[in-house]
Copies of this chain bind each other. A is one copy, B any other.
Amino acid sequence: MSFRLFTCARCAREILDRHLLKVHGLTWHLKCLKCSVCAMSLGHHNSCFIRNKAFFCKKDYTSANDWVRRAGKDIYHLACFACISCKRQLSTGEEFGLVENQVLCRLHYDIMLLNLQRVSDNGGVAHLEGNLPMDCIPKTAKRPRTSFTSEQLQVMQTQFIRDKNPDAQTLQRLADVTGLSRRVIQVWFQNCRARQKRNQVHDIIPPLGSCKSSEMPLLSDNLLFLASGRLQTH
């Protein structure tokens, strides 16, 4: 006889409900899984929608296009809520900064602060007229390279085994589940296909390191170098 103790992802207490609710890889009390907008319980409901790790009832999920975000006293269209530096649209829960009613992602907010610091270190406002913080914001910054969490990788890899070329719909679902943008997901699958193809070649031709000694009687310095994978260049 085995006891499996399940704890709720929201309240962290043991689940003694008649039914065990499993959503998004986590277990929940029926009444703990709520729409993040209207707070209605989703546990007793037929559908549950996920976007960027937040849960929604159907109504609030579909009306999401009209969503706005509140930041300070101001309200932004969801689409307008993007970093003015790198133009990237920010996700729910993501950190942001506000400078004169302009939205900044965490990264470029920090960069702005650094620049601001540097300016003040170099003698303050003397050279700059008027709008100091704005001048410290890089104008068209590159989008930073995203790094995936292990959970996001898990989701994508699982899908990749099932289907290496997911259609647009599946792509969107993955984006919703992981909280990543559709484009990022798409690029990952492109790169993953390329990676697999590349590695297949290596599977056919065994790498040098795995050769058996009988096949390589001449143990030269070069082999040593290959084995260690590191050459020290003086």
- Which A residues are closer than 8 A to B by beta carbons? 1, 3, 7, 9, 12, 20, 22, 24-26, 44-47, 49-52, 62, 65, 72-74, 77, 79-80, 82, 87, 95, 98-101, 106, 110, 113, 116-117, 120-121, 123-125, 132-133, 147, 149-150, 167-169, 222, 224-234
Residues of B contacting A79 in the complex (Cβ-Cβ under 8 angstroms): 120-121, 123-124
A3 CB contacts on chain B under 8 angstroms: 12
Shortest beta-carbon distance, A3 to chain B, in Å? 8
If the complex has contacts A20-B95, A100-B46, A233-B234, are A120 and B51 also in contact, measured as CB distance less than 8 A?
yes
Q: List 14 A-B contacts (CB under 8 A).
A: A1-B7, A3-B12, A25-B110, A46-B73, A46-B74, A47-B99, A47-B133, A51-B120, A62-B132, A79-B120, A149-B167, A224-B226, A232-B233, A233-B234
Q: Decide: A99 and B46 in contact? CB cutoff 8 A.
A: yes
Q: Shortest distance in angstroms between A191's beta carbon and chain B's nearest beta carbon?
A: 19
| Interface pair B72/A45, CB less than 8 Å apart | yes
A222 to B219 CA separation, bound complex (whole angstroms): 11
CB pair A72–B95 under 8 Å, yes or no, is no
Residue numbers in B under 8 Å from A123 (CB-CB): 77, 79-80
| A124 and B80 within 8 A (CB) | yes
